[in-house]
Structure 1
Amino acid sequence: MAASNWFGLSERAAVVCVVGFYMVTALVMVSVNKWALNTLPLPWTLLWIQMLIAVILLKVTQYSGLLKMPEIKADVARALIPLIAINVLGLGVNTLCLVYVDTSFYQIARGLVLPFTVFFAFALLGQPSSKLVLASCFTVFCGFYTGVTSEINVSHLGIVFGVASSITTSLHAIVIKKSLGAVDNSTLNLVYYNNVLSLIAVTPLVVLTGESAEVSYRLSTDGFAAFQTFLIAGLITGIFGFLVNLASFLQISKTSPTTHMIAGAVRGVIQTLLGYFAFNDVITAGRVLGIFLILFGGALYTWAKDKEMTAKAQQPTYIPMTQQDVDGEDDDEDDRNRA
């Protein structure tokens, strides 16, 4: 087995560590977010704190010499307006969804990410999908429909925010691809611009939604003690939000897309169990079936795309082996030119 350069770990041990790191950070992020919002339902303030911490941590890595952050330029910022808009909107509806639904239902409410991703890839990028990919999307939709219709006391507003979150998440990947050119195809520069500009964009929303007035009222009447739990939760989620981005990048770079999807599926199961034990969520048969279908559809999609990539990689590339082959190609070219 080839040795990895990660602290002398083997390649397999490094993959296990990366996958474990991703799952732990993602689970902590969702759980602490829910804990913070249960304490004080101030979603935009929580987002603002998380973005502020992410920017501070990026600056710390710059001052420590680990990474180099770019200077914010006005022309680049203008080019990234669509990315910032979809990012802020996506984070907002994502957090609002978590306000109105419990942790175990959160995955169902946001379960339409895959179908919307395939749809927008076709509608905006002209990328067709195979029958197997469409079957995986249909399976995911059945899981979403089963989970939603089997619930009696579920928040309809939470479902609306969940569907909106699925749409923005699907569009986000497409917008990122189009935005990389504005930052010379540097992922690090895009992350820095995204966090700084999103922080600026969220700041007026904290005021316009009345959350800043609520924070001032809490501090003036109850003092820091009442706000302490929320601030601690915001600090923890800010740090772990930064780590989730790092963990996702590490996992994708060190593993295959199939492993990444399997890790996400296992995380979804653990997240459901965590909601049951930590937040006393009610786990119904319809909810379990819905989550299973969503995870199965995601796994089927990953398998289908993996098959497509393998088949494409195995397609033979024609290389002229004889002078007659080369001459034949030249004759074909001459015929085309005369035509």
Structure 2
Amino acid sequence: MPSVPCLSLSERQAVFLTVGFYMISALLMVSCNKWALNALRLPWTLLWCQMMIAVALLKFTDYLGVLKMPVIRKDVSKALIPLISINVLGLGVNTLCLVYVDTSFYQIARGLVLPFTVIFAYALLGQSSSKLVLGSCFIVFCGFYTGVTSEINVSQLGVFFGIISSITTSLHAIVIKKSLAAVSNSSIDLVYYNNALSFLAMTPLIFLSGESSSVLEYFNKDGFAAFHSFLFAALITGIFGFLVNLAGFMQISKTSPTTHMISGAVRGVLQTLLGYFAFNDVITTGRLTGIVLILGGGALYTYAKDQEMRANTKPTYIPMTHKDIDNDDEGHKEPEQA
């Protein structure tokens, strides 16, 4: 009988652990960032500290011999400029969006990731989409529109940052796939380059944003207590920032886009619940409807892509007996020359 291709147990476990690691890290990262930003309105400084801690942790794993970090090369750094640019911009707008909106509304503000992903896949990769995929994008857009227009006190600036965040997130996955070739397809090398170069690129932004003066004023006002609070917030968000960064690269490189989309949908549901229970967010009817439509559109997209993959996968026939082999040879004989 024909053999049925399937993942080995170890591969299934790797996918499960990777997706679980990503979702847990992302949820903890959002909650820690929201807590830190509620206490300290210093988004660029906190991001800079996160990058610094991530680089320090990566170097520490190299020192222990757990992971091997690459030596920064100029040619590789130049090839990764698009990735670093999108990463810095994406981290910035993600954090600024979280400053202005509730944790539960964060899912809606960044709800246009799927439509932008389909648009960029067509514009940059030439990948056309089926009517079902386009229909899922329309449902997601309706969810975004419903969620945004139903809120009375929603921050327009937060929504703007959410839209930019959707664009950068859509581009990020595409750029990561293309950037892996520059580091010989090593996810760990790409994580190190990404964090080290983003740390350097983010340094001048602290001064350009005026946060350097705010940090000094904050320390002068409250003294050691302020320094303790800042250090604790930076350390916690830095550790989870490192984990979610590593988890994101692992998931994108180890799983399919469908798996990535499913985990994102599940994370959206958990994130909404987190905002309700941890931060006392108000879940209005319009907000809930918007979230349901966004997640429903994502589920329809996942189904559509799964059907496309099944349609494009041809079953492989493997002969199991000598009779099958003989019949297969007879069926594939070359025609005799006249």
Q: Which TM-score applies when normalising by structure 2?
A: 0.87
C-alpha displacement at 1:176, in angstroms? 2.0
CA contact (8 A) 1:139 1:296 kept: yes
Other structure's SS at 1:287 match? helix
CA RMSD across the alignment: 2.6
Quickly say closer, same or farther: Cα 1:18–1:178, change in 2 above 3 A. Answer: closer
Aligned length: 320
1:186-232 CA-to-partner distances (Å, cap 9, x unmatched) read 22222111110000000110111111111112112211312423331
CA distance in 1: counterparts of 2:249 and 2:190, whole angstroms? 14
Q: Which moved more, 1:165-174 or 1:239-248?
A: 239-248
Amino acid aligned to 1:199: F
2:181 is matched with which residue?
Answer: 181
1:324 is matched with which residue?
Answer: 335
CA contact (8 A) 2:173 2:252 kept: no
C-alpha displacement at 1:316, in angstroms? 7.2
1:332 is matched with which residue?
Answer: none
CA distance in 1: counterparts of 2:252 and 2:228, whole angstroms? 36
- Identity of paired residues, percent? 72
CA contact (8 A) 1:36 1:229 kept: no
1:225 is matched with which residue?
Answer: 225
2:79 is matched with which residue?
Answer: 79
2:155 is matched with which residue?
Answer: 155
Amino acid aligned to 1:164: I
CA contact (8 A) 1:83 1:176 kept: yes
CA distance in 2: counterparts of 1:169 and 1:191, whole angstroms? 16
CA distance in 2: counterparts of 1:54 and 1:132, whole angstroms? 40
Provide structure 2 residue ranges, at least 5 long, that are not aligned to the other structure: 1-6, 318-328
1:88-131 CA-to-partner distances (Å, cap 9, x unmatched) read 01110110000010101001000001100100111111110111
2:325 is matched with which residue?
Answer: none
C-alpha displacement at 1:315, in angstroms? 6.4
After superposition, residues 193-208 of structure 1 pair within 5 angstroms as: 193-208=193-208
Quickly say closer, same or farther: Cα 1:73–1:257, change in 2 above 3 A. Answer: closer
1:253-310 CA-to-partner distances (Å, cap 9, x unmatched) read 7776555433332321221122122222111100000001111111111111111112
1:293 is matched with which residue?
Answer: 293
Quickly say closer, same or farther: Cα 1:125–1:143, change in 2 above 3 A. Answer: same
2:31 is matched with which residue?
Answer: 31
Quickly say closer, same or farther: Cα 1:190–1:22, change in 2 above 3 A. Answer: closer
After superposition, residues 116-131 of structure 1 pair within 5 angstroms as: 116-131=116-131
CA contact (8 A) 2:110 2:162 kept: yes
Other structure's SS at 1:323 match? coil
CA distance in 2: counterparts of 1:181 and 1:252, whole angstroms? 14
1:58-97 CA-to-partner distances (Å, cap 9, x unmatched) read 1111111111111111122122212111110111011000
Provide structure 1 residue ranges, at least 5 long, that are not aligned to the other structure: 329-339
After superposition, residues 242-257 of structure 1 pair within 5 angstroms as: 242-248=242-248
Other structure's SS at 1:128 match? coil
CA distance in 1: counterparts of 2:86 and 2:252, whole angstroms? 23
After superposition, residues 5-84 of structure 1 pair within 5 angstroms as: 19-84=19-84
Q: Which moved more, 1:34-43 or 1:23-32?
A: 23-32
Quickly say closer, same or farther: Cα 1:187–1:21, change in 2 above 3 A. Answer: closer
Q: Which moved more, 1:263-272 or 1:148-157?
A: 263-272
Other structure's SS at 2:335 match? helix
1:284 is matched with which residue?
Answer: 284
CA distance in 1: counterparts of 2:252 and 2:176, whole angstroms? 16
CA distance in 2: counterparts of 1:160 and 1:118, whole angstroms? 20
C-alpha displacement at 1:234, in angstroms? 2.0
CA contact (8 A) 2:50 2:235 kept: yes
Q: Which moved more, 1:290-299 or 1:233-242?
A: 233-242
Quickly say closer, same or farther: Cα 1:312–1:180, change in 2 above 3 A. Answer: same
CA distance in 2: counterparts of 1:101 and 1:186, whole angstroms? 36
